[in-house]
Amino acid sequence: MSRKCEEEKNKFFKAYDCYDWEAHDSLAEVIHFIPESNFPIYDETPKNAVVFASTGMDGCHYCMVEDGYEINVYYVEPGWIDANRVFLIGHSISEVLSYGLAIANLLFSQIFDMEKEEFLNEINEAKREWKAELNSERFTNDLSALKREFPIIAYSASEVYDKLRSMNCL
């Protein structure tokens, strides 16, 4: 296992140890980042990857691969028959969490499955549906704990859509 990936994963777990990530209004539930230490490796998971989180649904997970001097973070959707559902979503957990916060309760894959206008409409709807959770004391405390470990940059959903589609040559 790469030292850089191991350090990133440890920071991620340290941040998640600070709160009850299984609660409905926790940051983990709202943005679909559930810590995983013994997650199964799927055929689609990149070689030498370090899995650090899942969405809690259908085997979808987040993993890191060290590529020379940088880390590539991927979102993996296993089990698709005719598609390679492995998406590059950033170069650090901090970057990926920043993107995840910008897209609220939607999954990264929706960026690759929707046109921009439809995606932004879904974001607005998700933020309305999850307003109570996004404004809850638990979510605010969880976010503060996360920010102690990772610098979080505020992106708009539109920026995230453009960055990730560009990163994946779409």
Containing structural domain, residue 98: 3-165
Answer yes or no: is 34 within a domain. Answer: yes
What is the per-residue pLDDT for 108? 83
Answer yes or no: is 170 within a domain. Answer: no
Whether 26 has a pLDDT exceeding 90, the answer reads no
Identify the DSSP state of 74: E
Answer yes or no: is 90 within a domain. Answer: yes
Q: Is the pTM of this model over 0.75?
A: yes
Closest CA to 47 of 1, 107, 109: 1
| pLDDT interval class at 84 (50, 70, 90) | low
Domain count within the chain: 1
CA distance 3 to 158: 33
pLDDT digits (tens, 9 = 90+) for 101-146: 888 767 788 888 899 999 999 989 988 888 888 888 888 888 888 8
- Give pairs for 52-60: CB < 8 Å, separation 24+: 52/8, 52/9, 52/12, 52/13, 52/93, 53/12, 55/107, 56/29, 56/32, 57/32, 60/107, 60/109
Answer yes or no: is 68 within a domain. Answer: yes
Which tokens sit at 67? 């590529």
